[in-house]
A and B are shown apart, each in its own frame.
Chain A
Amino acid sequence: MPSFTHFAPRQLLILSLLFCTATTAFSAAHIPPNDATVLERLPFKPNDPVARELAQMRAELQRNPKNVEVAVKLARRYYGMVGEEGDPRYLGYAEAALKPWWDMPEPPIDVQVLRAGLLQFRHDFSGATSDLNKAIARDPKNPQARVLRAVIEIVQARYDLARSDCRALDGLTNDLIVVGCETMVDGLTGKLASAYDTLNTTFNDALKDAQSDGDKVAPDLQLWVLIRLAELSQRQGKIERTEAHFKQALALGIQDTFLLAAYADFLLDQKRPTEVVTLLKDKIRSDNLLLRLVFAERILNMPEAKESESILTARYVAAQLRGDTVHQQEEARFELQVKANPKKALALAQENWKVQLEPRDARIFLESALALKDPNAAQAVLQWLDSSHIEDAYLIKLGQQLKQLQAMQVAH
């Protein structure tokens, strides 16, 4: 028997809003004024080289859906596009390409690694890890599987395992990735200054070497390293250097939602909301970027803030309705800062902390607990602060405030 959920009128209101929501919350289904009215903009023109390449691969796969090489090629292409375009639809397209192998317990190794990648996007970290464990058992020298597993281990605060996966990459892939991987772990575990210096030196050397060879470091690799350098600098409290790295990354001209979100957060922390609005005002299709825009618009008391806020609310409701939990960290920030609902924010941050344990996840968790004056709720994060030896001044300050609060509450 399928779920036949009963709705109270208030929930029904939200639901019916969702069913007829628009940018202005109350527009309704209509017939546009004339044939020339533009309804939707697509990411590509059909004769765009990327679109043509994808169309060719799709046609090839349609002729022979069981050709694993073509399927993997197409799925990888889509997988890469998720980050460029920030659109989760590509995850579904990638999965569709891999359909003949998708439900196999032990598919071809490339498919298994890709499947792990697609699963981690959905925050199914245990499914992804299980696939990666099997893939690495079959092929210990598979660099993709190692990198992906290292990243999941970093996200889940299993730093020793992550470090050994990073080290195992040595010789299997580009040195910058190997060093980037290990310094990511070091930057979280009490070796922040040396992690920055090592990565920065390796990066500059790589740029110089490439230049002298008349070559260049792949732009997407540069982007990745520069974001890591910005993060490490920010954790060290080196504001100017952080900004310089973000600017270098932006100058690469690669569309990247993660970079924009990280830079916007940096600007918000620096109390420069006007720049956030300029940076993101055309990027509201992305929920994560819209969230930053809402923060900035609210600080500036802009009239658009209300509408942006209602769009974002509707998107979170929609995500809930379809059963997604990938938004918990962002939604917690929304609840705390926009809806002034620290209770819900804390609940979301707690759920999120079960799967993601990164500095940004810790931050919203601690901020919510502090807003509620509930240090006991944040025990898990306080432990992580101590055990990881992370050197993040802001997080440590939050932790201390909570511990003081705890001591006071015990004294009473």
Chain B
Amino acid sequence: MKRLILLLAGLFFALTASAHKPSDSYLSLSVKDSSIIGQWDIALRDLDFAIGLDANGDAEITWGEVRAKHTEIAAYAMSRLHVSAQGKDCPIQVTEHLVDDHTDGAYAVMRFKAECPTPISVLQAKYNLFFDIDPQHKGLLRLDYQGQSSTAIFSPDKATQEFKLSEVSRFKQFLDYAREGVWHIWIGFDHILFLLALLLPAVVFRQDKKWQAVSAFKPAFWSVLKIVTAFTLAHSITLTLATLGVISLPSRWVESTIAASVVIAALNNIYPLFRERRWVMAFLFGLIHGFGFASVLTDLGLPQGALILALVGFNLGVEGGQLAIVAAFLPIAFALRTSWFYRRLILIGGSVVIAILAAIWFIERAFDMKFL
């Protein structure tokens, strides 16, 4: 009979592979100077197999049963995790026992502290949990250092690993934030449309209530430069102030005003409100857009100790992305400026479309509704 089971097991299960999630633990370490704050989530099923948690034998693990075994769980787990800084041992102390549900069931959660004798530059971690009873077990590590996260996987053949923390270089961090800045302006349609609405009339001027093409490139270029500089200056000021925590505004108000600014900028092309002093508008509303950028930067997570670096990187990224858009826009607009197509369809028609779109955003944001 046993023989048969094995024979058939092969036949059935080549196909099903692993139906459950296999055994993993989640270890996160957050390093600062010479201390490590950690959290370790270990599946109750695995702990039960290793040290037995089901005290009353009813196949259910209760909080009471887990609580009674806290000392034993901590001793079992912590004897299988060693961290050291530059080869010097950092003793671990469990500070708190909790539980959490992961996608595959309940986990014991241990929070702990480890103090190293020296500030950590090379962190060694030796992980041996469950490898003796389940070589398929893996430890998934998340390591946080200076606002940067990295991951690693512990397995029986990769039980000891070393992390050079200085490898998270300042320059790399700077580039990352710059990239995020470019990315944000690229996906931030409201900022792009605001800028476009202001730039559309840069290659024309109004005379006798009609748009006329500018005769030379120079005035168009100056007009664009004034608008872009005003916008940049304004949002840099508020981005900095908001990021440093000097001013803060409610995000719903900021986002609604940004939408409103796009509507006004677009309407200005259809019916003159600000006339030719669009750079004034760019500056005034640019102040509000800066708060919008600031909330993105805060969401990204700011590295402590490298705040200015992140701020400058992000801002330069935003400017770079913005300049790329302008550089693509200006030559095309200049070339088309004398055509009916540009003056009626793109300038007026485009402004109408932008105004409608932004008006919908405004209603969505201001009244917390969803249309698009």
Taking Cβ atoms with an 8 Å cutoff, the residues of A that contact B are 1-9, 12, 15-16, 18-23, 27-32, 34-48, 73, 76-77, 79-80, 82-83, 85-89, 91-93, 95-96, 99, 102, 114, 117, 120-123, 143-144, 147-148, 151-152, 155, 173-174, 177, 180, 218, 220-221, 224, 227, 256-258, 261, 285-289, 311, 314-315, 318-319, 321-324, 326-327, 358
A117 with B48: CB separation less than 8 A: no
Instruction: Give chain B's interface secondary structure class.
Output: mixed
Chain B residues, CB < 8 A from A20: 100
Interface string of B67-108 (1 = CB under 8 A from A): 100000000000000000000000000000011111111100
CB closest residue in chain A, given B2: A76
Contact flag A39-B66 (CB < 8 Å), given A2-B163, A322-B22: yes
B150 with A83: CB separation less than 8 A: no
Rounded to whole angstroms, the CA-CA distance of A80 and B161 in the bound complex is: 35
A-B contact count (CB 8 A): 267
Rounded to whole angstroms, the CA-CA distance of A324 and B300 in the bound complex is: 29
Told that A36-B64, A38-B61, A220-B8 touch, could you supply 19 new A-B pairs with CB distance under 8 A?
A: A15-B149, A29-B111, A31-B63, A35-B63, A41-B60, A45-B57, A76-B2, A85-B20, A86-B20, A91-B22, A92-B23, A92-B136, A96-B134, A143-B3, A180-B11, A258-B16, A287-B18, A315-B103, A322-B140
A117 with B137: CB separation less than 8 A: no
Taking Cβ atoms with an 8 Å cutoff, the residues of B that contact A are 1-24, 26, 28, 39, 41, 44-46, 48-49, 52, 54, 57-64, 66-67, 98-106, 109, 111, 132-138, 140, 142, 148-153, 158, 161-164, 167, 172, 176, 180, 299-301
Rounded to whole angstroms, the CA-CA distance of A95 and B24 in the bound complex is: 16
A5 with B22: CB separation less than 8 A: no
Chain A residues, CB < 8 A from B151: 3, 5, 7, 15, 321
**Within the complex, which residue of B66, B135, B138, B150 is in contact with A322, where a contact is CB–CB below 8 Å?**
B138
CB closest residue in chain B, given A321: B140
B21 with A315: CB separation less than 8 A: yes
B180 with A9: CB separation less than 8 A: yes
CB closest residue in chain B, given A9: B300
A151 with B21: CB separation less than 8 A: no
B4 with A7: CB separation less than 8 A: no
**Within the complex, which residue of B48, B100, B104 is in contact with A29, where a contact is CB–CB below 8 Å?**
B100
Chain A residues, CB < 8 A from B58: 45
Chain B residues, CB < 8 A from A311: 103
Rounded to whole angstroms, the CA-CA distance of A148 and B49 in the bound complex is: 29
Chain A residues, CB < 8 A from B102: 21-22
CB closest residue in chain A, given B52: A46
Contact flag A29-B61 (CB < 8 Å), given A9-B301, A318-B21: no
Contact flag A21-B103 (CB < 8 Å), given A2-B161, A87-B20: yes
Chain A residues, CB < 8 A from B17: 88, 121-123, 326-327
B104 with A285: CB separation less than 8 A: yes
CB closest residue in chain B, given A7: B149
CB closest residue in chain A, given B44: A40
Rounded to whole angstroms, the CA-CA distance of A245 and B280 in the bound complex is: 78
**Within the complex, which residue of A16, A21, A286 is in contact with B19, where a contact is CB–CB below 8 Å?**
A286
B48 with A42: CB separation less than 8 A: yes
Rounded to whole angstroms, the CA-CA distance of A314 and B5 in the bound complex is: 33
Rounded to whole angstroms, the CA-CA distance of A21 and B26 in the bound complex is: 11
A155 with B15: CB separation less than 8 A: yes
Q: Smallest distance from the beta carbon of A77 to chain B beta carbons, Å?
A: 8
Q: Show 9 A/B contacts (Cβ-Cβ < 8 Å), sorted by A.
A: A1-B164, A3-B151, A34-B64, A42-B59, A42-B61, A73-B2, A144-B3, A321-B140, A326-B17
B6 with A285: CB separation less than 8 A: no
Return the 10 tightest CB-CB contacts between A and B, nearest first: A35-B64, A92-B136, A92-B134, A86-B19, A88-B18, A22-B101, A326-B17, A286-B19, A32-B63, A39-B106
Rounded to whole angstroms, the CA-CA distance of A397 and B54 in the bound complex is: 54
A37 with B63: CB separation less than 8 A: yes
Q: Smallest distance from the beta carbon of B109 to chain A beta carbons, Å?
A: 4
**Within the complex, which residue of B24, B99, B109 is in contact with A318, where a contact is CB–CB below 8 Å?**
B24
B10 with A27: CB separation less than 8 A: no
